[in-house]
Amino acid sequence: MIACCLFDLDGVIVDTARYHYLAWASLARELGFEFTPEAGEATKGVSRMASLDIVLHAGGLDDRFSPAEKERLAAEKNARYLAYVSAMTPAEVLPGAAAFLRDVRAHGVLTVLGSASKNAGTILDRCGLRPLFDAVVDGTGVTHPKPDPEVFAKGAGAVGARPENCVVFEDAAAGIEAAEKSVRRLEKELATLDHQLSKAHDLLEQEIYSVEIFLSRTQSISSRRQELQNQLDELQHEADTYRQAEAGRKKIIPKVENLLNVFDSTMDPAQLNQLLKEVIDKIVYTKARGGRHGDPSDFKVDLFMRLP
């Protein structure tokens, strides 16, 4: 959808090209040569200093002047040009230009002037055209003259329009080249953005895959941890059981050792019977805690037979 129309000034809205030519031709005659209308065609749509280089080249004076002298010559030409445009009237607006601007604006399309001329403001005011433009970008606001697309890029930016939604109206070769460069630059920027978007998409997929792997590994680690915890609990239980059994064993062994010592040193049945009863009572108590019960007399016989 067209959101903005960008217009060159000279040769599109008004015919000031003849005033530029007359000013350059006057300067050329002072420098000693004639600047023809055919040669003047090359100055359309380009900056003042670039036009001066074209004029000097036509006269074979490329390396004749220093930068400061060139600035003086350009100022002299501009003074002559301003004398012409200062006398302009709305009658010098090209036929149909003002009506077209009004029609475009009536359809909600923004209008912007994009001119290399540093006198664009003066011309718009003299011809009553300024109210027909939403923004004006001229030679005073750009660093790079046409055919660089800067003037059109800034014009679109001045009204917040995207370059792909703009149409350029231009008559000079330099202006048309600037418009084409603007399109090519846009295509390049779009291609760059597409590439960056594709890389971002690939990175996002990688990140999603990495997250899925992480979650899977986390779940696996969590399951393994639970298994190890269960094993640890089992070992802890076994250790507690062993410690209880070991405590009982440490209590009964001294009694048994004492019994063996007495058995080795005496054959008194009464004393042996008393010692055996003490040990059997202890064994019965210990075994009862472990879940095994029996007749003390049986334990006595079993114990007596197994002591060796």
Cβ atoms of 54 and 43 closer than 8 Å: yes
CA distance 8 to 116: 8
Write the single-letter amino acid at 160.
Answer: G
* 302 part of the active site: no
Closest CA to 116 of 90, 79, 144, 88: 144
Examine the residue annotation and report whether 134 is marked as an active-site residue of this protein: no
CA distance 227 to 234: 11
Instruction: Say if CB 107 and CB 167 are below 8 A apart.
Output: no
Residue 214, classed as helix, strand or coil, is helix
Are 128 and 90 contacting, i.e. CB atoms less than 8 angstroms apart? yes
**Is the bond into 147 cis (omega within 30 degrees of 0)?**
yes
Going by the DSSP 8-state scheme, the letter that residue 167 receives in this structure is E
Q: Do residues 276 and 306 lie in contact, with contact meaning Cβ atoms separated by under 8 Å?
A: no
Least Cα distance to 24 among 45, 40, 38 occurs for 40
- How buried is residue 56: exposed, middle or buried, by Cβ count under 10 Å (0-12/13-18/19+)? buried
- Name the 3-class secondary structure at 174: helix
Angle formed at CA 19 by CA 18 and CA 21, multiple of 5 degrees: 65
Positions annotated as catalytic residues are 8, 10
